[in-house]
Amino acid sequence: MDERRMLPMSEPTKEELLARIAELEKQSRSKKIGKLEFRVGAKGGVSVYGLGRFPVTLYYEQWIRLLDAAGDLSAFLEGKKSMLKLKDPS
C-alpha cells in the first residue's frame, strides 16, 4: 500500500470565487440571449438550439418546406399578432 501523502489543495480566495461566479453568470446570459446553433443529429435531422428550452429538430425536406413557406408564415404571424403571447421587451 502506497502511503504517499497528497498535498492539500489551496482554497480559492473570496475574490477568486466572486470572479468565477461573475464569469459563469456572463456565460449563462450570453447563451440565453445568444445566437442560434445548428447541429446534425445521428439520424440525419438538423436541430436548432437557442430558440427555447428544447431544440427544434426537422429533416432536410422539412426545413426546405418551412423555408419556402417563410413569407406565408411571416404574414400569418403579423395577422395574428394581437392573439399571440409576446415576450415583454424589457
Given a contact cutoff of 8 angstroms between Cβ atoms, the answer to whether 58 and 66 are in contact is yes
Task: Pick the more confident residue, 3 or 45.
Answer: 45
Establish if 90 belongs to a structural domain.
Answer: no
Average pLDDT over residues 32-53: 89
Looking at residue 88, what is its pLDDT?
Answer: 77
The one-letter amino acid at 3: E
Contacts of 63 (CB under 8 A, 6+ apart): 46
- pLDDT class for 27, splitting at 50, 70, 90? confident
Which spans in 1-90 are helix H? 14-33, 60-68, 70-79
Given a contact cutoff of 8 angstroms between Cβ atoms, the answer to whether 13 and 20 are in contact is no
Q: What's the structural domain count of the chain? A: 1
* Residue 45 belongs to domain spanning: 36-83
Establish if 49 belongs to a structural domain.
Answer: yes
**How far are the Cα atoms of 5, 11, 80 from residue 8, in angstroms, in the given order?**
9, 9, 63
Establish if 71 belongs to a structural domain.
Answer: yes
Establish if 56 belongs to a structural domain.
Answer: yes
Average pLDDT over residues 29-57: 87
